[in-house]
Structure 1
Amino acid sequence: MSASDKITSSSASTGTIHIDPTGFVKLGSQLPVLANTLTKAVHELGLSLSETQQRTLLLYLDQLFLWNKAYNLTAITDPEEALIKHVIDCLAIITHLPSGSLLDIGTGAGLPAVIIAICQPERQCTALDSNQKKIRFIKQISSELGLSNMQPIASRIEAHEASYEVVTSRAFASLIDFVDVAQPRLADNGHLCAMKGKAPNEEELQALDSDWHIKTIKLKVPRLHDSRHLIELSRKNV
């Protein structure tokens, strides 16, 4: 039995899960609180995640903190804040993603690619980043967490040649820049999905309107009070 499978019984009536702490290094005594926060968020987002998947998400968070100093993965030092701003933030897009093979550009520590791979084991996910150290981290945790559907690649997007049905990003400051670099990697009838804080402004929408159908989805991320949106784009005249 792998570490990610070691789960004790859950309580449907209380909405809590009780996770075996075996294999966790950094979360320690905070694990029960974090597990309950995650379970409530999963319920609020309407996701159907098994206890094994929820435990794997928490193991990812544990590994993020374990290797943070070596790989410079996050500036957040509080586990609950990281759970909300990294893991739950990425969970909020899951139900809105079109189906198909996925490329995550500028994935960093694997956000949202690793989160998607854990939640949707049937989807092939590619995590792309030019930072070799961060890709080494994703390779390591993909092996430890048993993510056979995850392919980490250290490369700039301009040097990557495969095509995908869904292309995501959480890191691009400009929606126009994201579309510019992502569209060559998009398969016919594919979708670009950009995670953003604020909704696109009128200038961005007008610049893209002639070539793209644009759908702006306002997200409600549990426990997060900041604005979040998912911008979904598909080509016109395909």
Structure 2
Amino acid sequence: MSDAMWQRQLAEGLADLSLELDDASQQQLLAFLALLNKWNRAYNLTAVREPRQMVSRQLLDSLSILPFVTTDHLLDVGAGGGLPGIPLAIALPHKRFTLLDSNSKKTRFLTQCVLELRLENVDIIHGRVENCDPAIQYRQISSRAFTALDNLIAWCGHLLADEGEFLAMKGQFPDDEVAALPVGWQVTARHSLSVPGSDCERHLLAIGRDSGDQRFTTGG
């Protein structure tokens, strides 16, 4: 896959998502993708190894939730290879992103990304969510291919502000996981995501503390 092909896929995908990013941001995204592809050979950062799928399944998939990022400081848990945290941080340079993962190899990669891409709005934490300082509260916590919803709440609920929400990226709508949500929590919104270049079913679930209103909104 040539750089030109990746560049074209990204430009077309951004247009399909109705996202406008300047040339510098697009070049940063492609540089991140090149780093991910390079380090993946030794560090097993992502299961996506076919170059023709990387722009869609890594960059555009991550950016598909950009319209729903409303906080000034987002925590991305189980950050792994930096998805969706790094693409979002590149696209939203005036917002702050904290990426957390317990795997030292993955946080070494993320730290290298921050250095090489000069991402001044990204912090990397190596550790488990259960051990994070509960005094630091986040209004939004994202996760992608991290864990089941009940685990996400059990492990990270203490880090979520009272009026905050989880942004959980899923494939097919996880009916069983929603049914297993702990008492006091609810899906407040669900969005079908359309990712350019992918036929896979994708959803974003917003989950917050139960306010007594069991209705939730749908979108997409």
Normalising by structure 1, what TM-score? 0.82
Tell me the percent identity: 34
Instruction: Choose from 42, 46, 50 the match for 1:74.
Output: 46
Instruction: Choose from 120, 133, 154 the match for 2:126.
Output: 154
Residue in structure 1 matched with residue 217 of structure 2 by the alignment:
none
Give the number of the structure with larger relative contact order, counting CA–CA contacts within 8 Å between residues 6 or more apart.
2
| 1:94-109 map, 5 Å | 94-109=66-81
> Equivalent residue of 1:99, what SS?
coil
| 1:162-201 map, 5 Å | 162-201=136-175
Residue in structure 2 matched with residue 14 of structure 1 by the alignment:
none
Task: Judge conservation of contact 2:190–2:203 (CA < 8 Å) in 1.
Answer: yes
Name the CA distance, whole Å, in 1 between partners of 2:171 and 2:192. Answer: 10
Residue in structure 1 matched with residue 218 of structure 2 by the alignment:
none
Q: Which runs of 5+ in 2 are unaligned?
A: 213-220
How many residues are matched? Answer: 210
Name the CA distance, whole Å, in 2 between partners of 1:203 and 1:169. Answer: 14
Residue in structure 2 matched with residue 115 of structure 1 by the alignment:
87
Name the CA distance, whole Å, in 1 between partners of 2:110 and 2:70. Answer: 23
Relative to structure 1, is the Cα distance of residues 144 and 214 closer, same or farther in structure 2, using a 3 angstrom cutoff? Answer: same
Instruction: Choose from 103, 108, 116 the match for 1:136.
Output: 108
> Equivalent residue of 1:74, what SS?
coil
> Equivalent residue of 1:172, what SS?
coil
Task: Judge conservation of contact 1:98–1:191 (CA < 8 Å) in 2.
Answer: no
Task: Judge conservation of contact 1:100–1:164 (CA < 8 Å) in 2.
Answer: no
Instruction: Choose from 57, 68, 85 the match for 2:29.
Output: 57
**Deviation, structure 1 residue 82:** 1.6
> Equivalent residue of 2:45, what SS?
coil
Q: Does residue 212 of the first structure (1) align with residue 212 of the second (2)?
A: no
Relative to structure 1, is the Cα distance of residues 100 and 188 closer, same or farther in structure 2, using a 3 angstrom cutoff? Answer: farther
Task: Judge conservation of contact 1:47–1:95 (CA < 8 Å) in 2.
Answer: no
Residue in structure 2 matched with residue 230 of structure 1 by the alignment:
204
* Rg comparison, structure with higher value: 1
Residue in structure 1 matched with residue 215 of structure 2 by the alignment:
none
Name the CA distance, whole Å, in 2 between partners of 1:128 and 1:203. Answer: 23
Aligned-residue CA RMSD in angstroms?
1.9
Relative to structure 1, is the Cα distance of residues 76 and 207 closer, same or farther in structure 2, using a 3 angstrom cutoff? Answer: closer
Q: Which runs of 5+ in 1 are unaligned?
A: 1-26
Name the CA distance, whole Å, in 1 between partners of 2:183 and 2:143. Answer: 20
> Equivalent residue of 1:222, what SS?
coil
Task: Judge conservation of contact 1:107–1:129 (CA < 8 Å) in 2.
Answer: yes
> Equivalent residue of 2:130, what SS?
helix
Note the alpha carbon deviations across 1:106-136, whole angstroms, 9 max, x for none.
1101111111110111111011000011101
Note the alpha carbon deviations across 1:74-115, whole angstroms, 9 max, x for none.
233222212211111111111122223111111101111111
Relative to structure 1, is the Cα distance of residues 143 and 200 closer, same or farther in structure 2, using a 3 angstrom cutoff? Answer: same
Task: Judge conservation of contact 2:149–2:177 (CA < 8 Å) in 1.
Answer: no
Which of 108-117 and 167-176 deviates more? 167-176
Normalising by structure 2, what TM-score? 0.89
